Chains A and B, each alone.
Chain A
Amino acid sequence: MGYYPTPVVHLIQNISKLPGIGEKTAERLAIYLLGVPRKEAEQLAGSILEVKDKIRLCSRCFSLSDNPVCDICSNPTRNETLLCVVEQPMDMVAIEKSGSFLGVYHVLQGVLSPMAGVGPDHIRIRELISRIEEGTVKEVVIATGTDVEGEATASYLAERLRKRPIKVSRIASGIPMGGELQYVDQVTLKRAMEKRHDL
C-alpha cells in the first residue's frame, strides 16, 4: 500500500473499515472511485453526510426516521393495538416489504447475548415495557431471529410480559418457500410439523 500516494492510502484505509470488506476489496473500490466523474463522487460523499445529519431514531419505535416520529408511527391507518418487536431496522423493512403486517413496530436495536455482554439494559426493552404500559397495545408479536440469541430474547420478553393483560405471540418458523426438505434442520422441521395446518 506504500506504493500509493497518501490520499489514496487514506481512502483504502477508510473503506476497509466497512463491515465485510478486506484490504484487497478496499483497494479495488478505491481505484474504482478514483475513476468516477467528480459529480458521482460528490453524490456519494454527500449522501453519507446527509444520513449522518438527518437520520435519527424514531422516538416511539426506534426505527430510522428523518422526523422525530417515523412515517409508520404517525400513519393513522396503522393498527396501534398490534405491536411487532424486531431486532434491527432491517428486519422491520423486510416485514414491510412482505406487506403482511399492518400494525406498528418496536425496534430493540439489538439482541440479548450473554457471551457478547449484551444485557436487558443495553437494548430498548425498558422503552418497550413503558410503551405497553400506556395501554393501547393489545397484542405483541415477537419477531426476533431464530438463532440462540433471538430465541433467548423472545423468552426473556415473554417472561417480562407474562403477567400483563395482553396477548403475546411469536412468529412461526418453518420450511422456506422453494426449499427442499432434506436441507432443512431438524428443529425447523419439527416445528413446521407441529404447526401444520389443514388444506
Chain B
Amino acid sequence: MPIISTPAILLRRIDYGDHDLIVTLFTFDGGKISAIAKSAKKSTKRFSGVLEIFSVLNVVYRTSQRKGLPVLQAAALKHPFQHIRGDIKKTAYASYWAELINQWLEEGEKQVQLYLLFQQVLDKLDQDHLPEETLSILFQMRFMKLSGFYPNLEHCSVCRTGMEKMRKNRITFDLVKGGLLCEKCISGSLNKRSLSKGTIKQLRWFESGDWTKAERIRFSLPAIQEGQEFLEAFVPYHLGKEPRSLKFLRRLRNDQ
C-alpha cells in the first residue's frame, strides 16, 4: 500500500460519524483526492486545528488496495490564511472558487497550473492585495483558460467579424456558443448576455494571467459589475451546475 506525501489545499470537508472527517484535497502531485481523517473531530493531537477549508497543507496519505478511501496519516499546516477565515466576504469568494475547482476536477487528475493559480489567488485574497471582485474576475478568466473553455471575446462566433468592427457599443455574448455574436448573427440565440466593448477589452487583459499587469489595471466600477455578472453566469453554465456559494455571495452583496 503506497504512502504518498504532497502539498495540498483543502477544498471541502464533511463529518463522517462522530469522530471522523472526509476531506477533499486538491493535491499538488495527484490532483483531487478524497481521504478519510480518522478521529479528526476527537483527537487533540493528530489533526488539531489543521483540517480547515482553504488551508495549504503538507499531507501524507495511504492509498488502499481495496475499495475504501485513502487514509490521511498526517497533515501539517503551511498557510492557514487567517484573514480569509476572519472575513465573511473573503470566505464567500474563496468558497466560490473552491466549489468551481471541485466541480471541474476529476479525481486523480494532476493539475499543477490550476493548483498554483488557486494557491496564488488565496494568497492575494489573504494579503488584501487586490479587491475581492477583481481577484474573482482574474481567477475565473485564468480558470477558464486552464480548463479549456475560455470564451471567445475577439470576434463573432458565426461570421468571425472582429469585435472592433461591430458598430454598437453593447455586444451580445452567447453562453451556449461561448462567444460573441455580431448584430447580423444574433437571431436564434437563446441564452445570451450583453457586454459593453469596454468591459470586453478589460476582461481580455486577464488572459495572460500576468499578476503585475493585473494589479496595474484600474477597473471601472460598471466594468467590474458587468464582468462579474457575466462570468458568474458563464462559468457555472459550462460546469453544468451553479455553486451554492454563488447564492451566498449575491446575498452578501445585497446586504451592502
Query: Among the listed stretches B46-54, B116-124, B182-190, which one makes contact with chain A, having 4 or more residues with CB under 8 Å of it?
Result: B46-54
Nearest opposing residue in chain A for B18, CB measure: A20
Give the distance to chain B from A155, nearest Cβ to Cβ, in Å. Answer: 5
Sort chain B's interface into a size bin: 20 to 34
With A114-B95, A117-B244, A155-B87 in contact, is A188–B49 under 8 Å at CB? Answer: yes
Tell me whether B12 is interfacial, beta carbon within 8 Å: yes
Nearest opposing residue in chain A for B99, CB measure: A115
Contacts of A151 in B (CB 8 A): 85-86, 91
Interchain residue pairs with CB less than 8 A apart (13): A114-B92, A114-B95, A116-B244, A148-B54, A151-B86, A151-B91, A152-B87, A155-B86, A155-B88, A176-B44, A183-B44, A184-B48, A187-B80
Task: Give residues of chain B (42-67) contacting chain A, Cβ–Cβ below 8 Å.
Answer: 44-45, 48-50, 52-54
Contacts of B212 in A (CB 8 A): none
- Give which listed residue, A115, A154, A187, contacts B95 with CB less than 8 A: A115
Do A114 and B245 have beta carbons less than 8 Å apart?
yes
Measured between alpha carbons, how far is A154 from B251 in the docked complex, in Å?
A: 17
Task: Give residues of chain A (164-187) contacting chain B, Cβ–Cβ below 8 Å.
Answer: 176, 179, 183-187
- Give which listed residue, B77, B98, B248, contacts A186 with CB less than 8 A: B77
- Give which listed residue, B44, B48, B53, contacts A148 with CB less than 8 A: B53
With A119-B251, A185-B50, A185-B80 in contact, is A114–B44 under 8 Å at CB? Answer: no
Nearest opposing residue in chain B for A170, CB measure: B86
Do B91 and A148 have beta carbons less than 8 Å apart?
yes
Give the distance to chain B from A128, nearest Cβ to Cβ, in Å. Answer: 15
Task: Give residues of chain A (57-78) contacting chain B, Cβ–Cβ below 8 Å.
Answer: none
Other A-B pairs beyond A112-B88, A185-B80, 16, CB < 8 Å: A115-B99, A117-B244, A117-B248, A119-B248, A119-B251, A120-B251, A120-B255, A148-B52, A148-B53, A148-B85, A159-B88, A176-B44, A183-B45, A185-B77, A187-B49, A187-B77
- Give which listed residue, B48, B52, B82, B247, contacts A117 with CB less than 8 A: B247
Q: How many residues of A contact B (CB 8 A)?
A: 31
- Give which listed residue, B12, B49, B52, B243, contacts A184 with CB less than 8 A: B49
Task: Give residues of chain B (11-54) contacting chain A, Cβ–Cβ below 8 Å.
Answer: 12, 17-18, 44-45, 48-50, 52-54
Tell me whether A147 is interfacial, beta carbon within 8 Å: yes
With A115-B95, A115-B244, A120-B255 in contact, is A152–B44 under 8 Å at CB? Answer: no
Nearest opposing residue in chain A for B79, CB measure: A186
Tell me whether B249 is interfacial, beta carbon within 8 Å: yes
Contacts of A117 in B (CB 8 A): 244, 247-248
Tell me whether B96 is interfacial, beta carbon within 8 Å: yes
Tell me whether A121 is interfacial, beta carbon within 8 Å: yes
Tell me whether A156 is interfacial, beta carbon within 8 Å: yes
Measured between alpha carbons, how far is A184 from B48 in the docked complex, in Å?
A: 7
Measured between alpha carbons, how far is A143 from B163 in the docked complex, in Å?
A: 54
Contacts of B98 in A (CB 8 A): 115
Measured between alpha carbons, how far is A117 from B243 in the docked complex, in Å?
A: 9
- Give which listed residue, A112, A118, A179, contacts B44 with CB less than 8 A: A179
Measured between alpha carbons, how far is A85 from B87 in the docked complex, in Å?
A: 18
With A147-B52, A183-B48, A187-B82 in contact, is A115–B251 under 8 Å at CB? Answer: no
Nearest opposing residue in chain A for B11, CB measure: A115
